[in-house]
Amino acid sequence: ISFSNDEKYILVGLSNYHLKVFDVSNGKKLKEYQNIHSNKITSIIPFPNSNNKFITGGIDKKINILDISNINNINSKEEYTELGHFCRIRQLCYSESLNYIIIISASNTDIIIYNLFAKKIEFKIMTSNLSQNVYANISKKDKGKYLIYSTSNPKTNSKIVLYNLSTKLVEEKFLGFSQKYMIIKCCFCGPEDIYILSGSEDFIIYLWERGNGDNPKYKFPGHFGIVNTIDMWGNDFIIS
């Protein structure tokens, strides 16, 4: 599911491989696309600097650029451009500053970095062979210079990795939370993205300050089960 950049539209990928577009102002379905993917759509993100284009990925291994400019013409063709076949896709992120699409696989642990303008794979981030359930997020304040990702592994200590996409180096690791078997989502937060937030399998929300990844700054209890998704609301310290 994704908003358009101007927040006028919501796009929803369905289990029947279709994609629906809704008007945010009234909840009305504007169009249903039926042919852009041949298997489950797993990720939709807005195309940079456009209110009418989106990047979609799915289990069919395809990444497409979908154009909904003719959304009000019910007889218009499904206008999309296929970027290629990559892997069974779990998640897509976009680095605006570097023009990279970050591709998270549902079937292996490599993170593929695709150069959107050059139309080629730039490089891959190799995670541990024992890792599973990779999830990533992109920094907002610097328009995607940094990537964080977490992986589950029952045999090693859980960690979130801070990766510099410009230098292609790991800059820091954040420890102390629990992720053995599940997808656990993490995100940047705070002024200049100086904090890292994560859920955990021990029912706690963790917050670290960058530069001190060995010791969580705060732990927020209150859940009665695994905290597997987390996000920030706007620029305020409101956690959902």
In order, the DSSP letters of 124-144 are EE---TT-EEEEEEE-TTTTS
pTM above 0.75, yes or no: yes
> 172 CB contacts (<8 Å, ≥6 apart)?
161, 162, 210, 211, 213
Spatial distance between the Cα atoms of 144 and 92, rounded to a whole number of angstroms: 13
pLDDT at residue 237, rounded to an integer: 60
Residue 95 bridge partners (DSSP): 100
Residues 6+ apart with CB under 8 A from 116: 83, 94, 99, 100, 101
pLDDT above 70 (res 29): yes
Predicted local distance difference test score (pLDDT) of residue 159: 92
pLDDT in tens, 34-84: 889 999 999 999 998 899 999 999 999 999 999 998 887 766 666 888 999
> Cβ distance 134 to 127 under 8 Å?
yes
